[in-house]
Amino acid sequence: AAAQRTIPVTLELGGKSPQVVFADADLNDAAATITRGITQNSGQTCSAGSRVIIEDRAYDSFTADLAKRFRALRIGASDQDLDMGPVVNAVQKERIEGFLALAERDGLPILAQGDLGTNVSADGFYVRPTLIGDVPFDHPLAQQEIFGPVLVAIRMKDEADALRIANSTEYGLVAGIWTGDIGRALRLAHGVKSGQVYINNYGAGGGVELPFGGVKRSGHGREKGFAALHGFGTLKTIAIKHKAA
């Protein structure tokens, strides 16, 4: 519709946002935030941190911590006031379950899943939050937006490897970088192809003052902040040739 009318638009689209975790990070804080970042709104947020890219020497202990947190999650109806509710409809539930079936087909290890609460209707659109380990960076689960509470864990060797994997998808909405080395964090923040980057935190959009939007197939233009106002304005150029009297 915008193309037919030649009008400007801001497109905020999907994401496959990476959370890059180095061994020198505050791993407890990282695990808690990363768990929230993929289970908020049952994983149905464009900015969900759906890939966790972990340094080899921290991979086993960190995924064990994430698995413990995932197993503690309880899923149920909103009036039960548990950790997570249903997904939006049957179509989305089937889509998520299709990705989980793909993981099973390809022998990817399910490290942990949350539990359905008691008295949960079998007809509800409930999906257990799932942590999947040792996912190849180019596997469909690590490339395509699932839009559900599914977190894939990927190993990385070093800073260069982390950047390569983080930038390996067609999306670029949000990224999280977890490290005690601020120099490394800033290098990665500049190198990652993403509209927003969080260092040692993850805001999934942040406050109204922080411009939000993506690159690549995550869209163009920005919402929020003063940068968003540019999308509603028109720039005019006036060029004058002035001759002295």
What are the contacts of 39-42 at 24+ separation with CB within 8 A? 39/73, 39/83, 39/84, 39/114, 39/129, 39/149, 40/204, 42/84, 42/85, 42/86, 42/87, 42/127, 42/148, 42/149
Residue 104 is among the residues annotated as catalytic for this protein: no
Amino acid 230: pLDDT: 84
Residue 232: predicted pLDDT? 80
**Integer CA distances (angstroms), 101 to 90, 94, 167, in order:** 16, 10, 26
Amino acid letter, residue 1? A
Helices 159-166 and 182-191, axial angle in degrees (round to 10): 30
Alpha-carbon torsion, ordered 117, 119, 123, 126, to 10 deg? -10
The SS3 of residue 12 is: strand
46 is catalytic: yes
Provide the pLDDT for residue 8.
Answer: 84
Residue 161 CB burial class (10 angstroms; 0-12, 13-18, ≥19): middle
- What is the Cα–Cα distance from 242 to 132, expressed in whole angstroms? 68
What integer pLDDT is reported at residue 204 of this predicted model?
Answer: 64
Average pLDDT by consecutive 10-residue portion of the chain (245 residues)? 89 95 98 97 96 98 98 93 95 97 98 91 93 98 98 98 98 98 98 97 83 95 89 89 89
Nearest to 98 by CA among 66, 64, 144, 133: 144
| CATH T-level fold of 13-206+213-218 | Aldehyde Dehydrogenase; Chain A, domain 2 (3.40.309)
Selected catalytic residue, list 46, 55, 145, 159: 46
Give residue for tokens 């915008």: 2
